[in-house]
Amino acid sequence: MADIPFHHTLTVLQDVCKGCTHCMKRCPTGAIRIAGGKAHVDPERCIDCGQCMVVCPHHAIVLEQSDFNRIFNYRNRVAIIPSLLFGQFEDTVSDLQIVHALLQIGFTHVHIAEFGVDILRTLGNRISVYADDRPVISSYCPAVVRLIQLRYPALLRTINLMRTPAQIAALFARLDIEEQGGDPEETGVFYITPCAAKFAQINTPMSATSGLIQGGLNLDSVFNLMQSYFAKNKKESLAVTPGVIAFPQISAPAFLWSLTKGESASMPGRTLAVDEVHNVIEFLELVEEDKQQNLDFLELRACATGCTGGVLNPRNRFLASERIKHMAQRLPREIDKETKARVLKVSDRMIHNLKVDRIEAKHSLKLDQDMGLALQKMEKARRILEVLPGIDCGLCGSPSCAALAEDIARSNASIRQCAVLKLTDPRGLNTLARIWGEQIALEKTPKPEV
């Protein structure tokens, strides 16, 4: 899988972008540069965390759109919904009304993604993990997995290779329909997600979700469809009672899985939860240096508060988290016997498909594949950094003076881009540009679009 490039879902709208540098400064992997007055994302460094999209004041960064009508290509239309979807609605909309609306807008089956946790518990009586070393790192957050692939290859062997709950729920949904006589060819499983990285994963060919999940759907657009259903069908919606439809099976601990500390709470041993991508990077540096030998399990999430912080969630992350916790109080500790029996009926076909392939490294930090050339570039970058002002203003189009120095050393930028040197020492700047080799202006060679 090493040769298959990441699919990226974030796009910069070139006609809307003002080149303001907000996204560039926020990007945790230093993937963004401003060239020709517009932001460009380096596809080799982007982990699809969505921080740039959240911080953009001009709404110039957007997520790839999904075509909802694709679901109607299938007779059996399964919605895999994250528990956080319930948190997006105010209390005036009941849990059952939410499920009902999903069925009304076109789905035939609704499963909660975190129900996968209960499936796993039913199959094995406990939550098992597959990893070569500890502390085991959760694979739940695909942005974190990408981050490790790009920047912490030594930690790849500690990533849990067990399928994520949503994948397990999707697997079960398919087999369950087949068990009841449905044609697997006519079953389409769609994952509704607020997450740029999950969306990217689903759309990457040969990824862990291939074959299981036919498509991702943007949570905000599905939310809009549901809200319009509520607005136009008040009477039908209010008439929904437990006698009409059942709430999907899920246990309380599983329902809380995607919130910070939700997963680590169910893991044995000493566990720890870190959320928000910059915090995660700070922590991974420590793990990489092998100073955390007492820990057994690490829950790492790119978004603050966990998945309720996903970029496409319409509602405030704290309010959404509160509703989920409130709902969990009324959920059972375990799923019912009937559902367990349905799981066990297909257990033979599930058990051999619970593990994903080993995750391969991707390189993003390296200055060159050749160590000698990389050393030369590093030396050059260090010398250039000494003459740069060190104020990290970002006006050059690189996120910091150190990043500009590195870009010059990689022949991706010119020292003439430094606005401070241009103002304070224009003559010296010409000399410096000659010393370090004049580069073609970036405007003439824009980086490839994501």
Partner 1 sequence: MHVTFKVTAGDFSNAGKISSSIKTLLKQLNISSVDVKRIIVALYEAEVNVVAHSYGGEVVCDIEPHQAFIQVIDTGPGIPDLDLAMTEGWSTATAEVREMGFGAGMGLPNIRKNTDELSIQTQAGGHTHIMMRFYISEGTI
What is the binding site for partner 1 (CB under 8 A)?
Answer: 151, 153-154, 156, 285, 288-291, 361, 363, 365-372, 374-375, 378-379, 382
Instruction: Please check whether residue 28 is in contact with residue 50, taking contact to mean a CB–CB distance below 8 angstroms.
Output: no
Considering the complex, what minimum distance in angstroms separates the CB of residue 359 from partner 1? 12
| Residue (154 or 341) nearer to partner 1, CB | 154
Residues ≥6 apart with Cβ < 8 Å to 132: 157, 158
| Residue (144 or 148) nearer to partner 1, CB | 148
Residue 200: strand, helix, or coil: helix
Dist CA 280 CA 273 (whole Å): 9
Pick from 140, 136, 114, 39: nearest CA to 449: 39
| Residue (151 or 174) nearer to partner 1, CB | 151
Considering the complex, what minimum distance in angstroms separates the CB of residue 283 from partner 1? 13
Considering the complex, what minimum distance in angstroms separates the CB of residue 368 from partner 1? 7
| Residue (22 or 45) nearer to partner 1, CB | 45
Considering the complex, what minimum distance in angstroms separates the CB of residue 367 from partner 1? 5
Instruction: Please check whether residue 98 is in contact with residue 315, taking contact to mean a CB–CB distance below 8 angstroms.
Output: no
Considering the complex, what minimum distance in angstroms separates the CB of residue 380 from partner 1? 10
Dist CA 19 CA 37 (whole Å): 5
Considering the complex, what minimum distance in angstroms separates the CB of residue 240 from partner 1? 54
Instruction: Please check whether residue 108 is in contact with residue 76, taking contact to mean a CB–CB distance below 8 angstroms.
Output: yes
| Residue (153 or 182) nearer to partner 1, CB | 153
Residue the block writes with tokens 């829950």: 299
Residues ≥6 apart with Cβ < 8 Å to 164: 116, 139, 140, 208
For residue 279, count CB atoms less than 10 angstroms from its CB and return exposed for 0-12, middle for 13-18, buried for 19 or more.
Answer: middle
Residue 346: strand, helix, or coil: coil
Considering the complex, what minimum distance in angstroms separates the CB of residue 378 from partner 1? 6
User: Maximum CA pair distance of the chain?
Assistant: 81
| Residue (363 or 447) nearer to partner 1, CB | 363
| Residue (89 or 436) nearer to partner 1, CB | 436
Considering the complex, what minimum distance in angstroms separates the CB of residue 365 from partner 1? 5
For residue 325, count CB atoms less than 10 angstroms from its CB and return exposed for 0-12, middle for 13-18, buried for 19 or more.
Answer: middle
DSSP 371-396: HHHHHHHHHHHHHHHHHS------TT
| Residue (299 or 407) nearer to partner 1, CB | 407
DSSP 330-379: TS-SS--HHHHHHHHHTHHHHHTTSBPPPPPP---S-S-SSHHHHHHHHH
